[in-house]
Structure 1
Amino acid sequence: TETEVLLLAALQESHKSNEYLTNRNIALQAGNLLNEAYCAKAKGALQFQEEKKKKKKRQGTLPDGLPCVLTGDRFYEERVNFEKERRAEEREKENRKDLRAEWKAAKEKWQQAEDTRKALKERETAKYEEALAVWKAANEGQG
């Protein structure tokens, strides 16, 4: 009947609307997950950047930007600690530089050994191919 047709059309329209809303909900949730991942990554990068800035700021005469008497015990201790940290960082930097140089030298030595090994392998392969060709030529006459 006419009422059934109208009801079926309304039902189909309702199903389409429901399906559209479901798909839209899934798309929004996926976008939300991507935004959360991006925000977490950006937060970590920002935190790292702020810590790096904070380290650079401490290079002045007064540590932590504290206004204090230059002869105060706390200032003196902070300054001594700062100098120790700076020297330790310089030593670490030099150590990394030395390690990098050692690594480069070891890599060059390995590369030379590898080149020698490859050349030897090529010579041995050429000898083998030559011997194989001679053997095949000798065996063709017998077979």
Structure 2
Amino acid sequence: MAPKNSIKESYQEALHQSYACEDMMKADLLRAQSAMVLQSVYCTRIKGQLAAREEKEHTRRVKKAKLMGDGLPRYLTGDEFYHQVAENEKRQVEGERRQEVQQKQQDEQAEAIAIWRQAESSHIERNKACRQEHQEVLAVWNNEKDQAKAEGQRVGWKNVE
């Protein structure tokens, strides 16, 4: 429907321009929201990696920490020092237990590998015997084939190759 006068026509044109401007703003808003979602996902992943790295650094520092490593005098019966000693002893016991568990796992794995290697060697020997037997049958077949070829006849049994 066409406008009846120039004022309505200008209003109609302004309305279309505002709709176009609104559509552009909506598109810009959608792009901004998409970028924000992607940045949020990225930040969450990086935050997790950073937390893991900081935890790893903290555990390294705690493991290497010395009770009296800074050279300053300590009040040996103080609560803080006592708790540090107890924590250090607990870490040492836990480390020894972890080493025992690892050693046990390594021994079990070594036994399993030894059993597997033994089974594998018997399997290899069995395959070698089968190949040798096949080579012998193949040699007999080739001899018969050559002999039949020389006589102008066919071999009496199928190809074993």
Which residue pairs with 2:120 in the alignment?
114
Runs of 4+ that moved beyond 6 A: 73-78
Q: Distance in 2 between matches of 1:9 and 1:34?
A: 37
Indicate whether 1:14 and 2:22 are aligned: yes
Q: CA deviation at 1:32?
A: 1.3
Partner of 2:92 in structure 1? 86
> Residues 109 and 7 from structure 1, CA distance in 2 versus in 1: closer, same or farther, beyond 3 angstroms?
same
The question of 1:34 aligning with 2:49 is answered no
Matched, 1:43 2:60: no
Change (3 A) 1:78 1:46: closer
% identical aligned pairs? 15
Paired residues in the alignment total 131
**Residue of structure 1 aligned with 2:64, choices 53, 56, 74:** 56
Report the Cα distance in structure 2 between the residues aligned to 1:7 and 1:77, rounded to whole angstroms: 75
Post-superposition offset of 1:104: 3.1
* Corresponding position of 1:67: 74
**Structure 2: gaps spanning 5 or more residues:** 4-8, 142-154
Looking at CA atoms only, which structure, 1 or 2, has the larger radius of gyration?
2
Runs of 5+ unmatched residues, structure 1: none
Give the whole-Å Cα distance in 2 for the aligned partners of 1:6 and 1:15. 14
TM-score normalized by the length of structure 1: 0.59
> Structure 1, residues 45-68: CA drift from partner, whole Å, max 9, x if none?
3123213312321x3358xx9922
**TM-aligned CA distance change 1:24 to 1:73, over 3 Å:** closer
More helix by share: 1
